[in-house]
Amino acid sequence: AVAILKKLRADRTKAGMKMILPAKVEKDSRFLIRIHEIYKVGEKTADELHLYNNVGPRVLMLTVNTVADDPKTVAAEHKAGEDLLLSTTYNRKAFRRDP
């Protein structure tokens, strides 16, 4: 999580973006890592959520980025991303390699 935070912060700084909420880890027992950040993109405000979770032997990452003005819309879009990642399952047969 620390390496991801450093990378996100460095990328935003390098791009000259104005940070409203610098990338920070938020505790959420449903996910391996949850990082939230808010920054300006031109005149718009981007609210970005980075979610990481173990699914079988894999780690999946999902990023939700919204520039919606309405806080309810932002919350709904973040929830849709959370629900999507939480709905994933590992299919062992799909990764089995036949000789």
Q: For 71-92, give the DSSP string.
A: HHHHHHHHHHHHHHHHT----H
Distance CA(58)–CA(94), nearest Å, equals 13
Distance CA(88)–CA(48), nearest Å, equals 21
**Looking at the whole model, is its pTM more than 0.85?**
yes
CA distances from 15 to 2, 9, 12 (A): 20, 10, 5
**Tens of pLDDT along 78-89?**
999 999 999 999
**Tens of pLDDT along 58-97?**
999 999 999 999 999 999 999 999 999 999 999 888 766 6
**Tens of pLDDT along 22-61?**
999 999 999 999 999 999 988 999 999 999 999 999 999 9
Looking up tokens 């991801």 gives 4
